[in-house]
Chains A and B, each alone.
Chain A
């Protein structure tokens, strides 16, 4: 019985570990590209250039690259009110897109490591998960 119980624990913890395991950085970026093209591209456009004064750019965006947690928070819960991106005022609304934490990590990894952006620090699902409202 004791053996069965320990084996059971071992299997469960192995499975748990498997589920929890973060995907590779490259995988996350490439999954993030799919999310980007599905949820973000309509406004932020294909090279993250945005539209001046309407949709803030993501490429070379000081706001994005200096405020990682705030950016994650904005994707998770939405963003409203004035922000300044590369010296230009934006006063729009981005609503939360209903993405799960893993999808948010993926799309963050994609936008911070695409075009001219190369943050090279993987944003994990755990980091997204820990940001509470």
Chain B
């Protein structure tokens, strides 16, 4: 009897610990139907990337360098603003203006010391790219206050189908103040017009002290962003603390709950809150336990890879693979490891040629080639 009790206890305890891991479990495909090859090497942290055409792209290096890659050769682009390189900050994302072919405009996010106070915060710039230099540099947004904290600059940039620019800023290591206060920057998704002005139907334009560029709030550190190819909605993934990384579908004016609600705990193992949901706060579309440290994300829309069309691809910094998520009826039904153990994946993009390109820390940019 004692033995039976013990067995039951073990069964019970193991069930509890299983329930911690979020469904569905990650799978390693039995058959690997792709290879990969380096497109460019020798970039330490290729944080963000955008394509000019089939043969050329622009890539940021976190330490503060910007490169144009043409036919596998890199050329440094000059004329960058000052970059505050500290902790997770540096030169972060790059995105070409939707009408780049005519105006040569690119957008950059980076951490910057501009303005009062020690330290820095996330800034968004636009600039014209002429050959290999930037001209007509414009500061479109600078978050405040500056802080010497090393974390959570956010910084992904995307454009929706109505030509609004969306970008993210993380909570800057001040989770109890920034994410839930719309009068302060940090822990937010922002929406701007392409010239940097604030759309007059942004959700908080009529709140007197609010930062009017805010589109949603209550975020921790969103570093993956993609536009859903069918719905046109903005999807983000964000780093949780220990456990509780999330995918969120962004609603105008939505509060995503950090740190009032979370599926994660502190790095030390202590509790942040027991609340997983509260009225008026959005639930994640998906969350990870344990954390994978999600970075860039993209939906695959091409037919280049057998069975992968419409999957969502997200890089894992922590476990060093590319995650393929299959979504059916608004649910993640399958998760798969691609490029297992390739290294810390910082960003993933679909090129104009329909192939997937991943940025790997310490290595460079790789193209995935189907067999």
Q: Which residue of B44, B85, B318, B320 is within 8 Å of A98 (Cβ)?
A: B85
Q: Which residues of B contact A45 (CB under 8 A)?
A: 267
Within the complex, the shortest CB–CB distance from B316 to chain A, in Å, comes to: 11
Sample 9 A-B pairs with CB under 8 A, ordered by A number. Answer: A39-B150, A78-B44, A92-B343, A92-B344, A93-B44, A95-B44, A96-B85, A98-B86, A98-B87
Known contacts A93-B44, A98-B85; A46 and B269 CB within 8 A of each other: yes
Cα-based distance from A98 to B45 in the complex (angstroms) = 15
Q: Which residue of A38, A51, A99 is within 8 Å of B173 (Cβ)?
A: A38
Known contacts A38-B149, A92-B344; A97 and B318 CB within 8 A of each other: no
B149 & A95 in contact (Cβ 8 Å cutoff):
no
Cα-based distance from A45 to B267 in the complex (angstroms) = 7
A-B contacts besides A38-B149, A54-B319, A92-B344, 18 pairs, CB < 8 Å: A37-B267, A38-B151, A39-B87, A41-B267, A42-B151, A46-B267, A46-B268, A46-B269, A51-B318, A54-B320, A80-B362, A95-B44, A95-B45, A95-B62, A97-B86, A98-B84, A98-B85, A98-B89
Is B361 part of the binding interface, using a Cβ–Cβ cutoff of 8 Å?
yes
A93 & B86 in contact (Cβ 8 Å cutoff):
no
Cα-based distance from A39 to B319 in the complex (angstroms) = 19
Q: Which residues of A contact B150 (CB under 8 A)?
A: 38-39, 97-98
The 10 closest A-B pairs by CB, nearest first: A98-B86, A93-B362, A46-B268, A39-B150, A98-B85, A46-B267, A38-B150, A41-B267, A93-B361, A39-B87
Is B104 part of the binding interface, using a Cβ–Cβ cutoff of 8 Å?
no
Residues of A18-62 at the interface with B, using a CB-CB cut-off of 8 Å, are 37-39, 41-42, 45-46, 51, 54
Q: Which residues of B contact A98 (CB under 8 A)?
A: 84-87, 89, 150
1/0 per residue, CB under 8 A from A, across B27-51: the answer is 0000000000000000011000000
Considering the complex, give the chain A residue whose CB is closest to the CB of B363.
A93
Within the complex, the shortest CB–CB distance from A130 to chain B, in Å, comes to: 22
Considering the complex, give the chain B residue whose CB is closest to the CB of A39.
B150
Within the complex, the shortest CB–CB distance from B171 to chain A, in Å, comes to: 13
Considering the complex, give the chain B residue whose CB is closest to the CB of A103.
B148
Q: Which residues of B contact A97 (CB under 8 A)?
A: 86-87, 150
Within the complex, the shortest CB–CB distance from B103 to chain A, in Å, comes to: 33
* Interface residues of chain B: helix, strand, loop or mixed (majority): loop
Is B193 part of the binding interface, using a Cβ–Cβ cutoff of 8 Å?
no
Q: Which residues of B contact A51 (CB under 8 A)?
A: 318
* Interface residues of chain A: helix, strand, loop or mixed (majority): loop
Is B202 part of the binding interface, using a Cβ–Cβ cutoff of 8 Å?
no
Considering the complex, give the chain A residue whose CB is closest to the CB of B148.
A38
Residues of A79-119 at the interface with B, using a CB-CB cut-off of 8 Å, are 80, 91-93, 95-99
A80 & B44 in contact (Cβ 8 Å cutoff):
yes
Residues of B254-303 at the interface with A, using a CB-CB cut-off of 8 Å, are 267-269, 293
1/0 per residue, CB under 8 A from A, across B331-351: the answer is 000000000000110000000
Cα-based distance from A39 to B85 in the complex (angstroms) = 13
Cα-based distance from A51 to B242 in the complex (angstroms) = 13
B362 & A92 in contact (Cβ 8 Å cutoff):
yes
Cα-based distance from A51 to B320 in the complex (angstroms) = 12
A38 & B344 in contact (Cβ 8 Å cutoff):
no
A42 & B267 in contact (Cβ 8 Å cutoff):
yes
Cα-based distance from A39 to B268 in the complex (angstroms) = 14
Within the complex, the shortest CB–CB distance from B248 to chain A, in Å, comes to: 21
Q: Which residues of A contact B63 (CB under 8 A)?
A: 95
Q: Which residues of A contact B361 (CB under 8 A)?
A: 92-93
Cα-based distance from A97 to B87 in the complex (angstroms) = 5
Known contacts A38-B173, A80-B362; A54 and B149 CB within 8 A of each other: no
Q: Which residues of B contact A96 (CB under 8 A)?
A: 85
Q: Which residues of B contact A46 (CB under 8 A)?
A: 267-269
Considering the complex, give the chain B residue whose CB is closest to the CB of A99.
B86
